[in-house]
Amino acid sequence: METIRADVAIIGAGGAGLRAAIALAEADPKLKIALVSKVYPMRSHTCAAEGGAAGVIKADDSLEHHFNDTVGGGDWLCDQDAVDYLVQEAPRELIQLEHWGCPWSREPDGSVAVRPFGGMKKQRTWFAADKSGFHILHTLFQTSLQFPSIERFDEYYATELLVDDGRCQGFTAIEMRSGQMRRFQARAVIIAGGGAGRMFPFTTNGAIKTGDGMALAYRAGVPLKDMEFVQYHPTGLPSTGTLLTEACRGEGGVLLNRHGRRFLQDYGMGPETPLGKPVLKTMELGPRDRVSQAFWHEQKKGNMVSTEWGDAMLLDMRHLGEKTIDERLPLVRDMSISYMGVDPVTDPVPVRPVVHYMMGGIHTDIRAATPLAGLLAAGECACVSINGANRLGSNSLTELLVFGRRAAMSAVEHLQSGRGAGNDAATGALADAAQARIRALIQRSGGKESVAGLRKEMMQTMEQHAGIYRSGEGLAEACGKLAGLRRRYAMIELHDKTNVYNTDLLQALELGSMLDCAEAVTASALARRESRGAHQRLDFSARDDANYLRHSLAHYNAAGAPRIDYLDVVITRSQPGVRDYSGDHA
Amino acid sequence: MSERQVALEVLRYNPETDREPRLQRYSVTCREEWVVLDALNHIKESVDPTLSYRWSCHMAVCGSCGMMINGEPKLACKSFLRDYEGVIRVEPLMHFPIERDLVTVIDDFMAKLARVKPYLIPKQAKPVGEGEYRQTPAELKKFKQFTLCINCMLCYAACPEYGIIPKFIGPAAISLAHRYNQDSRDGGRDQRQEEIAATEGVWECSFTGACSEVCPEHVDPAAALQQVKIKSTVDWYRKHLMPWMEE
């Protein structure tokens, strides 16, 4: 097996992976950096983020405001030292991107413009029209091209971490073009593999978001933290799940039920604000968890509009006018017309909550380090945790920059800690075993199960039992079902047994990742007998700080259900309080 | 909800098992609002798991699913079945080697993109601590449309010159070079010009405008090429006829 040697190898070349690669190249031009991704960097899902990135820049704002919005928005499950680091570093990172050419939208005087976003008390979301993630990704990718020390391995799918002597020393990966297994030998590994929204059938997430990075770490013994917290974005197109950014509401769009009522006022987010004059942190600018939950209640009451794709609410942007919509929300208009046949300039757009983001992920500390020496993680696949029980819109793009860079710094620190080369023979044997497992999967015959069949059952299970509202009974059923699916997964037979760009194999491996992540989600959700942020239990409807002001940690168990234990939340100065999104709040 | 039967002829080629590409016909039940990508996903899921193609975002921003649909370069996620009658022919993007089925080899573009230095080469270096560069909305507008390239390769598939002269840098790479050249913060035009004004640079373009017509993001690479040509011509005159201007 060909071995590729690097000082630091990065899995994932989206926003976090690219930011880490650039930070490493800048830190020391002599470092050999391998940037490995199952897709070309510009295909990474960072490109789909629309609204923007939060960072304090305007005179009326403060780091303390950003901290408080984030911690309260996360229902006090955020680690407050990590949030402090995030908000302090955010402006610097966003300016850095500006210096690299990111086409941020501007004020008439040439300074960077900011827009309002949900759950934020001040305007602090930097944006590039409604393609902010796209521009961040391409700016980072194009900037990375100037560093000769970053060697890219595009379309390589990582299958296993190589752990020996208590530290991560690389991984195996399949080169898609040839189907050949490669061994990446590295002194430090950064996982930046993105989220896992494809566990669910209705999601804004692209096809590639299958939790591979999370599963790699999880199977190597690193716990997944707070996996029960799955964010529903309130406004997806009911036909395809395509995201309509929160900026629609930031710019003044409103949500209506079928009677034309702005129903959020009936769910603790009132009183109603004047049309076209959005007020920060209330009504349509409430946080995503609350808005999605309000939808659920309205749906139960029969107040929603029925469409051929199920119940929907209406996102009304007509009063913004064509000029504002074209200038600020061009993609939204294009998507609404293309995929729903509705022009937001003339008609309200039907939307419904859609799975969008994993607050949970690979357990890291504030340095982006996992408990496994030599393994770092950043971006959506990681849980630092700055998002707590509910992420505020526009914090994730900031997070991948701040902690992508932090992971790079920690990798450098790890290299400097002086642990010498690993045992080549030991990791070589691990790589051979990893290769044998893939060969066995390809060659297996007589299997009764199909990738598509199991995937469908997994998605249905997640939608039915792990959605906006959950119950102990449903979650227990989901855990049992997923355990069964994992067993049946061992009996999959591939139809395609060839080498070159074998997407049958790729999808089988992705399904394996998703099943492991899904089990971590449902087991953590079943164990958390309270309601907090995006995790709402019908049977335990109150927040329970006495027992659950703690992060859940799901530990992988090859033979059965994950073991769940807990870790105290880091609280520095903000004690758990009431999340107040009424317009009367101070 | 209405459904209809749709026939697709999809190019298949597996270098391990096929001597040459062939068309395979699938007839599948599709929903009226589906795009071609949905039909391919349906085939992959329920009919033929061996079919290979790239896709991810399903919202025309990741640039993965460029293919020839009835002979035209298109994003499969934005090609609606309702716009087609009869059999829909789906093939890999023209002018690129086929890796397998609808998957093409795009090494050539990736190398060319890096060559044109598509990154900001600051006119005036400025520490991050001193804040952002000022750039008015009008200055932004000068290059904004060229930032919208999603690298989907449709323009290369449409470009007659690229088909004949593979060394041609091509529409997307030149647009992205032009994007930085036009950026008020940038001072790197001379460095990029060396690549672009070379023989296989802009001069190969015969200005058919096919690149701009097929661009799903309404970028106008043809305009970028034309503007770069004019600038290159001015540079030539300066250098050869007005050497005193070079100071």
Sign of CA dihedral B200, B201, B204, B205: positive
Cβ–Cβ contact B61 with A under 8 A? yes
Split at pLDDT 50, 70, 90, the class of B230 is confident
Q: How far is B9 from chain A (nearest CA, A)?
A: 19
Cβ–Cβ contact B136 with A under 8 A? yes
Nearest to A566 by CA among A530, A541, A533: A530
Rounded Cα–Cα distance for residues A124 and A61 (Å): 8
**Residue in the block written with tokens 């919202």:** B59
Task: Please tell me which residue in A124, A183, A233, A537 is annotated as part of the active site.
Answer: A233
Write the Ramachandran bin of A480: left for phi over 0, alpha for psi from -120 to 50, otherwise beta: alpha
Bridge partner residues of B11 (DSSP): B23
Cβ–Cβ contact A454 with B under 8 A? no
DSSP classification of residue B41? H
- C-alpha dihedral (A15, A21, A22, A25), degrees to nearest 10: 180
Cβ–Cβ contact A92 with B under 8 A? yes
Rounded Cα–Cα distance for residues A512 and B119 (Å): 38
Are A233-353 and A441-568 in the same CATH fold?
A: no
Topology adopted by domain A441-568:
Methane Monooxygenase Hydroxylase; Chain G, domain 1 (1.20.58)
- Cα A177 to Cα A150, A155, B45: the distances in Å are 20, 8, 22
**Residue in the block written with tokens 């597996």:** B14
Residues 6+ apart with CB under 8 A from A490: none
> Are A95 and B131 an interchain contact pair (Cβ–Cβ within 8 Å)?
yes
Higher-scoring residue by pLDDT: B206, A487: A487
Q: Which of residues 142-171 of B touch A (CB under 8 A)?
A: 143-144, 147-148, 150-151
Query: Cβ contacts (< 8 Å) between B139 and chain A: which residues?
Result: 110
Domain ranges within chain A, ordered by starting residue: 233-353, 441-568
- CB-nearest to A111 from B64, B129, B134 is B134
In the predicted structure, residue A251 carries a pLDDT above the cut 60: yes
pLDDT more than 70, % of chain A: 99
- Cα B75 to Cα A242, B90, B93: the distances in Å are 16, 11, 10
- CB-nearest to B133 from A98, A109, A504 is A98
- C-alpha dihedral (A463, A464, A467, A473), degrees to nearest 10: -150
Res B233: pLDDT? 77
Q: How far is A476 from chain B (nearest CA, A)?
A: 29
pLDDT more than 90, % of chain A: 97
> Are B52 and A131 an interchain contact pair (Cβ–Cβ within 8 Å)?
no
pLDDT tens figures, B147-184: 999 999 999 999 999 999 999 999 999 999 999 999 99
Cβ–Cβ contact B137 with A under 8 A? yes
Residues 6+ apart with CB under 8 A from A30: A149
pLDDT tens figures, A540-560: 999 999 999 999 999 999 999
> Are A338 and B78 an interchain contact pair (Cβ–Cβ within 8 Å)?
yes
Domain ranges within chain B, ordered by starting residue: 3-104, 107-246
What value does the mean pLDDT of chain A take? 97
Q: What is the rounded average pLDDT of the residues A193-222?
A: 98
In the predicted structure, residue A229 carries a pLDDT above the cut 60: yes
Exposure string for B169-178, b = 16+ CB within 10 A, e = fewer: bbbbbbbbbb
Q: Tell me the backbone φ, ψ of residue A13, rounded to 5 degrees.
A: -125, 40
Q: In the A/B pair of chains, how many CB contacts fall below 8 A? A: 155
pLDDT tens figures, B236-247: 677 777 766 554
Nearest to A191 by CA among A164, A166, A173, A165: A173
**Candidates 3.10.20.30, 3.40.50.10490, 3.40.50.2020, 3.40.50.300; correct CATH number of B3-104?**
3.10.20.30
Q: How far is A330 from chain B (nearest CA, A)?
A: 11
- State the pTM of this model: 0.97
Rounded Cα–Cα distance for residues A99 and B163 (Å): 37
CB B65 within 8 A of CB B77: yes
| E-only strand ranges, A405-505 | 469-470
What value does the mean pLDDT of chain B take? 93
Nearest to B217 by CA among B176, B186, B162: B176
Topology adopted by domain B107-246:
Fumarate Reductase Iron-sulfur Protein; Chain B, domain 2 (1.10.1060)
Res B205: pLDDT? 85
pLDDT tens figures, A286-312: 999 999 999 999 999 999 999 999 999
Q: Which residue on chain B is closest to A100 by alpha carbon?
A: B120
Res B244: pLDDT? 65
In this prediction the ipTM stands at 0.96
Q: What is the rounded average pLDDT of the residues A173-186?
A: 98
Split at pLDDT 50, 70, 90, the class of B231 is confident
Rounded Cα–Cα distance for residues A250 and A286 (Å): 10
Q: What is the rounded average pLDDT of the residues A42-60?
A: 96
pLDDT tens figures, A413-455: 999 997 777 899 999 999 999 999 999 999 999 888 999 999 9
Q: Is A182 in the active site?
A: no
In the predicted structure, residue A405 carries a pLDDT above the cut 70: yes
- Cα A350 to Cα A251, A270, A322: the distances in Å are 18, 22, 18
Split at pLDDT 50, 70, 90, the class of A120 is very high
- Cα B94 to Cα B11, B58, B62, B171: the distances in Å are 12, 22, 19, 15
Q: Is A249 in the active site?
A: yes
> Are B120 and A143 an interchain contact pair (Cβ–Cβ within 8 Å)?
yes
Q: How far is B39 from chain A (nearest CA, A)?
A: 14
Number of Cβ within 10 Å of residue A546's Cβ equals 7
pLDDT tens figures, A321-374: 999 999 999 999 999 999 999 999 999 999 999 999 999 999 999 999 999 999
Q: Which of residues 236-265 of A touch B (CB under 8 A)?
A: 239-240, 242-243
Res A193: pLDDT? 98
Q: What is the rounded average pLDDT of the residues B114-137?
A: 96
Spell out the alpha helix ranges (H) of A145-229. Answer: 212-219
Going by their DSSP bridges, the two strands A536-537 and A224-225 should be labelled as unpaired
Architecture of domain A233-353: Alpha-Beta Complex (3.90)
pLDDT tens figures, A258-287: 999 999 999 999 999 999 999 999 999 999
**The amino acid at A295:** F
Q: What is the rounded average pLDDT of the residues B87-111?
A: 98
Query: Cβ contacts (< 8 Å) between B117 and chain A: which residues?
Result: 145-146
> Are A206 and B143 an interchain contact pair (Cβ–Cβ within 8 Å)?
no
Cβ–Cβ contact B119 with A under 8 A? yes
In the predicted structure, residue A37 carries a pLDDT above the cut 60: yes
Structure tokens of A465?
A: 């039992």
In the predicted structure, residue B199 carries a pLDDT above the cut 70: no
Exposure string for A73-87, b = 16+ CB within 10 A, e = fewer: bbbbbbbbebbbbbb
Task: Kindly tell me the burial class for residue A469, based on how many C-beta atoms sit within 10 Å of its own C-beta (0-12, 13-18, 19 or more).
Answer: middle
Structure tokens of A265?
A: 């006022």
Rounded Cα–Cα distance for residues A219 and A90 (Å): 32
Q: What is the rounded average pLDDT of the residues A480-503?
A: 97
Cα angle value A440/A443/A444 (rounded, 5°): 80
**The amino acid at A560:** G
Res B194: pLDDT? 83
> Are A43 and B126 an interchain contact pair (Cβ–Cβ within 8 Å)?
no
Q: Which residue on chain A is closest to B139 by alpha carbon?
A: A110
pLDDT tens figures, A494-544: 999 999 999 999 999 999 999 999 999 999 999 999 999 999 999 999 999
